[in-house]
Structure 1
Amino acid sequence: MNTTAYNRPKQPEQVRRALLEAAVALAEEQGLGGITVQAVADRAGVTKGGLFHHFANKQALIDAVFDFMLEQMEAVLDRLMADDAEQGCFTRAYVISTFECCDMALSGQALSISMVTDPALRRRWRDWVDARLARHADTDSDPRLNVVRLAADGYWFARVLHDGDPGPETPEALQARLIAMTREG
């Protein structure tokens, strides 16, 4: 009889994080279809019951993975903005995070791309962007900064569509050009 499940100390936050990381890894490897309850539980080393203790169903797990990705992006943005309070600071952080996190975004592209077809995820992304823009309205409401953010989104989307190769300009050169545009007046 296996008694490790009974003797193992309860660490709910670690188990929850392991489940989220397992779901992200499966999405990277197999797309959203790879996120099954059994596959995530197996990958995280927990039972299906353990998964259901943290997430009521598969949709709740996918929602949590989306939130997890947004939290990671929030942390990067906040880190980048910590020393920048000038006009366009949010947009600069957004551009830098798009380029810095592009490999992470590409690895999580199954979930990110699902925003295109899933109205609920699309609405959650839009609400998140709108909240950040409202928070930074004093520094980032200029329409030209919106163009820069849209260009950064286009860069990310081009990387996804072209298997990591967005075009002839180097990512560093394009990022520098977009950052320079945030400082133009």
Structure 2
Amino acid sequence: MSTAYERKKQPEVVRRALIDCAAKLALERGLQAVTVQAVASAAGVTKGGLFHHFASKEKLIEAVFDAQLDVFGAAVDEALQHDNGSYGCFTRAYVMATFTLGESDDGQCGGALAVSMMTDPLLRPRWSVWMRARMSKHKKTDSAPALEIVRLAADGAWLADLTALAPDLRMSRKKLLARLMAMTQKD
């Protein structure tokens, strides 16, 4: 009979911990800080344990991006459920998700997405694929140029939050959100 310690295998828990630790490192110290050793240590696993779940550092970073994009997409979907489906419905949901996640997760989702997209050119097409699919689905309600401007303004607010732009250099979040939401209404 073996007296060796046997840890209960929980592959999804370990995988999630690796993704979360990599996202946190990317947000706090930049994507260059996301090393195999740093992520494995932060998650409490060996490098071999990390490679059991992800074949390479690049695959881990893709998983971080995809997981954060799933969080953002779920927030958009949640906001869409509370909309009547008329003009600007996707844009309103996009703005709400952008502002809500920025407040609720201390920048984790938005920060990890932004850091990943800005620093890794291989991830940028993933965002375009996601956005293209959403825009195709909501073409009838959200293709107006004015709505694109609103979405881009929400992206700018997201970036301002991520970079901790001084409050005296920007409109209050509450006023900006109200203004952007008003701009999604048809004239």
**What TM-score does the superposition give when structure 2 sets the normalisation length?**
0.87
Give the 5 Å matches for 1:67-78.
Answer: 67-78=66-77
**1:94-124 Cα distance to aligned partner (Å, 9 max, x none):** 1111111225474453651342343211111
The structure 1 segments of at least 4 consecutive aligned residues displaced by more than 4 Å after TM superposition are none
**1:4-61 Cα distance to aligned partner (Å, 9 max, x none):** 3xx2222111111011111112222221122111111111111111110110011110
Matched AA of 1:16: R
User: Partner residue of 2:147?
Assistant: 145
Q: Structure 1 residues 110, 15: closer, same or farther in 2, change over 3 A?
A: closer
User: Partner residue of 2:117?
Assistant: 115
Q: Structure 1 residues 89, 134: closer, same or farther in 2, change over 3 A?
A: same
User: Partner residue of 2:43?
Assistant: 44
- For 2:143 and 2:171, the matched residues in 1 are separated by 28
Q: Structure 1 residues 69, 135: closer, same or farther in 2, change over 3 A?
A: same
Matched AA of 2:95: V
Q: 1:130 aligns with which of 126, 129, 132?
A: 132
Q: Structure 1 residues 2, 137: closer, same or farther in 2, change over 3 A?
A: farther
User: Partner residue of 2:182?
Assistant: 180
- For 1:29 and 1:94, the matched residues in 2 are separated by 25
Whether the 8 Å CA contact 1:159–1:165 is kept in 2: the answer is no
User: Partner residue of 1:102?
Assistant: 102
Greater CA drift, 114-123 or 156-165: 156-165
- For 1:52 and 1:166, the matched residues in 2 are separated by 46
User: Partner residue of 1:8?
Assistant: 7
**1:140-169 Cα distance to aligned partner (Å, 9 max, x none):** 112211111111112222333454648342
**Percent sequence identity over aligned pairs:** 51
Per-residue deviation, 1:81: 0.7
- For 1:45 and 1:184, the matched residues in 2 are separated by 52
Matched AA of 1:184: K
Q: Partner of 2:122: helix, strand, or coil?
A: helix
Q: Partner of 1:101: helix, strand, or coil?
A: helix
Matched AA of 2:49: G
Whether the 8 Å CA contact 2:150–2:184 is kept in 1: the answer is yes
- For 1:166 and 1:154, the matched residues in 2 are separated by 16
Q: Structure 1 residues 162, 59: closer, same or farther in 2, change over 3 A?
A: same
Matched AA of 2:147: L
**Aligned residues: CA RMSD:** 2.2
Q: Where do 5+ consecutive residues of structure 1 fail to align?
A: none
- For 1:38 and 1:2, the matched residues in 2 are separated by 29
